[in-house]
């Protein structure tokens, strides 16, 4: 078999059929159900596709099946890298089935998440994952099968909730620092749903140990918020020996404050984050962190959406994923 790829236009299914010596309908069958085609003909078609650089038209597939094979994912901030594992988990399930994930960043703000979500829905996605705080209009109901990933202040009617057990994770962080011997433990928190659950778990475990609760709460959970919260905490509680940040990004903000004040991690102050994001895994930062297992959340979200796409009548469920503490170099026993 030998032929040159068309130089002036995109190759079509008819070009593939001509080069492979088969009908266009057989090419279509190879693309949609290759197991139903003999090895010889399938290999001929696949060889022609490879030689021509043919790519099936997603628009044509959409018209034929009434599906776009697209899943929308709304996150709250590109700067917070917790969503990387979530996306990887989703794609590990969806990619082999021909689905692709369309990502939209809403940043904080109700109107922003509505705009991001409306933009995805306008592209006729088959399903939606919300990894941000839903806006008020979204709480009534979404148009497509929807999963909310992570604790939020509200969940749209008819949506599944798949989340890390953040209450348990906050308790894990507190227990780790208590077991190391810390009794002056500060917590940097935010105002979103996940932060609220992490704060509640932390507070409960600290109070059980009979230790004072030191909490610096901010509106957001960015590096800047972590910096401001850590500054407030050390201004008001300079004897703090350990800090638990609501996420790894806030922990990085705390590092900047500690460095500016001449305090060493973990010699003077231990620091623990949350999410086990790429920041925490960095060999340079090497942050002790609670792993929220976002990849497992993503895997579960993908499977749940696929089931809802096939049967929209399935009732929504709530699924909790157990967190895991990952101990690295930023926590140790307090200085004597």
Instruction: Name 30's Cβ contacts closer than 8 Å, sequence gap at least 6.
Output: 37, 41, 42, 45, 46
Residues of the chain with pLDDT under 50: 1-6, 63-65
State the total domains in the chain: 3
Answer with the one of 274, 291, 308 that is the final residue of a domain.
291
Cis before 247 (ω within 30):
no
Q: Are residues 116 and 260 in the same domain?
A: no
Q: Are residues 124 and 217 in the same domain?
A: no
**Residue 52 domain flag:** yes
Q: Are residues 175 and 239 in the same domain?
A: yes
pLDDT at residue number 4: 47
Q: Are residues 300 and 285 in the same domain?
A: no
Q: CB–CB of 292/166 below 8 Å?
A: yes
CB atoms closer than 10 angstroms to residue 31? 18
pLDDT at residue number 60: 54
**Residue 112 domain flag:** yes
Answer with the one of 5, 33, 56 that is the final residue of a domain.
56
Q: Which residue, chain included where needed, has tokens 């099946």?
A: 65
CATH number at residue 195: 3.40.50.2300
Q: Are residues 153 and 101 in the same domain?
A: yes
Q: Are residues 278 and 188 in the same domain?
A: yes
pLDDT at residue number 100: 92
Instruction: Name 45's Cβ contacts closer than 8 Å, sequence gap at least 6.
Output: 16, 20, 22, 26, 27, 30, 37
**Residue 188 domain flag:** yes
Report pLDDT digits (tens) over 76-93: 878 888 899 999 999 999
Q: Are residues 267 and 285 in the same domain?
A: yes
Q: Are residues 160 and 305 in the same domain?
A: yes
**Residue 228 domain flag:** yes
**Which domain range does residue 47 map to?**
13-56
Q: Are residues 171 and 157 in the same domain?
A: no
pLDDT at residue number 8: 60
**Residue 186 domain flag:** yes
Q: Which residue, chain included where needed, has tokens 């140990």?
A: 209
Which residue in 40, 56, 31, 44 sits closest to 3, CA to CA? 44
**Residue 330 domain flag:** no
Cis before 266 (ω within 30):
yes
Q: CB–CB of 252/319 below 8 Å?
A: no
Q: Are residues 227 and 89 in the same domain?
A: no
**Residue 233 domain flag:** yes
**Distances in Å between the alpha carbon of 258 and those of 29, 103, 215, 289?**
62, 35, 17, 18
Q: Are residues 259 and 239 in the same domain?
A: yes
Angle at 312 between CA 86 and CA 134, to 5 degrees: 45
**Residue 148 domain flag:** yes
Q: Are residues 152 and 229 in the same domain?
A: no
CB atoms closer than 10 angstroms to residue 57? 13
pLDDT at residue number 140: 66
Alpha-carbon distance of 328 to 108, in angstroms, equals 30
CA 324, distance to chain mean position in Å, is: 16
Report pLDDT digits (tens) over 304-325: 999 999 998 899 999 999 999 9
């Amino acid at each position: 078999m030998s032929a040159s790829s068309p130089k002036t236009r995109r190759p079509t299914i008819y070009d593939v059929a001509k080069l492979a010596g088969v009908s266009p309908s057989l090419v279509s069958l190879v693309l949609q159900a290759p197991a139903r085609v003999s090895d010889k003909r399938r290999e001929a078609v696949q060889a022609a596709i490879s030689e021509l650089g043919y790519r099936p038209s997603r628009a044509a597939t959409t018209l034929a099946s009434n599906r776009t094979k697209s899943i929308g994912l709304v996150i709250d901030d590109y700067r917070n890298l917790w969503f990387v594992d979530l996306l990887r988990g989703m794609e590990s399930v969806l990619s082999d089935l021909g689905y692709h994930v369309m990502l939209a960043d809403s940043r904080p703000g109700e109107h922003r998440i509505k705009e991001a979500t409306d933009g995805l829905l306008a592209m006729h996605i088959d399903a939606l994952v919300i990894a941000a705080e839903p806006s008020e209009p979204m709480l009534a109901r979404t148009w497509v099968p929807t999963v909310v990933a992570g604790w939020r202040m509200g969940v749209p009617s008819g949506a599944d909730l798949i989340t890390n057990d953040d209450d348990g994770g906050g308790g894990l962080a507190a227990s780790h620092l208590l077991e190391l011997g810390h009794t002056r433990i500060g917590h940097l928190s935010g105002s979103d749903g996940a932060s609220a659950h992490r704060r509640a778990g932390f507070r409960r475990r600290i109070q059980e140990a009979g230790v004072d609760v030191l909490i610096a709460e901010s509106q957001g959970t960015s590096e800047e918020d972590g910096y401001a919260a850590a500054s407030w905490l050390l201004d008001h509680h300079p004897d703090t020996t350990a800090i638990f940040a609501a996420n790894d990004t806030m922990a990085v903000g705390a590092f900047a404050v500690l460095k500016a004040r001449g305090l060493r991690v973990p010699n003077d102050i231990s620091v623990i984050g949350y999410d086990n994001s790429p920041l925490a895994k960095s060999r340079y930062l090497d942050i002790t962190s609670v792993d929220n297992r976002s990849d497992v959340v993503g895997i579960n979200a993908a499977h749940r959406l696929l089931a809802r796409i096939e049967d929209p009548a399935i009732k929504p469920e709530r699924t909790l994923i157990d967190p895991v503490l990952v101990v690295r170099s930023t926590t140790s026993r307090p200085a004597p």
